[in-house]
Amino acid sequence: MTVKILVPISGGKDSQACLKLALQQHPADQVRGLFCDTGFEHPDTYAHVEKLRTLYGPVRIDTVCAGDVLEKSKKYGRFPGGGARHCTDELKIQPTKRYCKALAQDQGSSIASKKRGIQGSEAGGFEVWYGMRSGESPEREARYIGKVCDEVYAPHEVLPSKYPKYLAALGVQFRLAVLDWSEQEVISFVGLHDLNPLYLAGFPRVGCFPCLASGDKWKEKAFGHDAFGAGQHAKVIQIGAQIGKSVWTSKGGKARNENNPVCELVCNT
């Protein structure tokens, strides 16, 4: 059966809402999830992605893994943060691009058929339902200004610097299915009991554990959360020593955590 809707799954609530919405509107065999594993997720997130395979009825979710966050930090000699999001680019955007291209071609899409006037899913193309929301941050609001939930866009119209025009030529279209939803609307739609448990533990965002590009207080919270977080802390300190960089970016974060790294490591592991 031809895939008509591809939903990039992060383990977070917005992509979960997109998956649920897609499965309400399309037969499950026309919907597929795609999980880009960064090798740096919490076990609760991996378990949650597993749960999503059956939560709304059986649906195929493919996993792709193009390395891990710490390996990328070593490769670039720095942790993600500021303008540097080498991890997002190499572990999420590039693998998604490759996956979309391969799926469209597998389904019979070609630039030649587009030129002959056969478009979208008729030519093997499909929609990618991304769970971005304008309300998430002022940057996202500015980035998606003028876009609406119900329209489809060429990938390069949504993220011009990230997605090439050839995807549109293969019939791949993006839909920002929950773009104007509030956080509360997403939670109500998904249901508190069906959220990734990390939300209930007080983490407002789910992705890497922790996202190394996030603020120091979230890194501290994750590293102190449980044994897994403590293990992540130990790994990050080790890589930081190898590349000569600190994972802490704020004055307070450095003051709290860099004064006695040996004690810090022992106390948190």
Which residues sit at the interface with ligand SF4, rule CB under 6 A?
A: 38, 40, 69, 80, 85, 87-88, 91, 207-208, 211-213
- Comparing CB distances to ligand SF4, the nearer of 126 and 163 is 163
> Shortest Cβ distance from residue 136 to ligand SF4 (Å)?
13
- Comparing CB distances to ligand SF4, the nearer of 73 and 113 is 73
- Comparing CB distances to ligand SF4, the nearer of 59 and 87 is 87
**Which amino acid, 229?**
G
Query: Of 30, 5, 27, which Cα lies nearest the Cα of 18?
Result: 5
Query: Cα separation of 227 and 201, whole Å?
Result: 14
Please check whether residue 32 is in contact with residue 62, taking contact to mean a CB–CB distance below 8 angstroms.
yes
Query: Cα separation of 230 and 234, whole Å?
Result: 6
Radius of gyration of the chain (CA): 20
Query: Cα separation of 140 and 150, whole Å?
Result: 18
- Comparing CB distances to ligand SF4, the nearer of 40 and 181 is 40
Please check whether residue 250 is in contact with residue 215, taking contact to mean a CB–CB distance below 8 angstroms.
yes
Q: Is the dihedral of CA 18, 23, 25, 26 positive or negative?
A: positive
Query: Cα separation of 193 and 55, whole Å?
Result: 12
- Comparing CB distances to ligand SF4, the nearer of 80 and 171 is 80
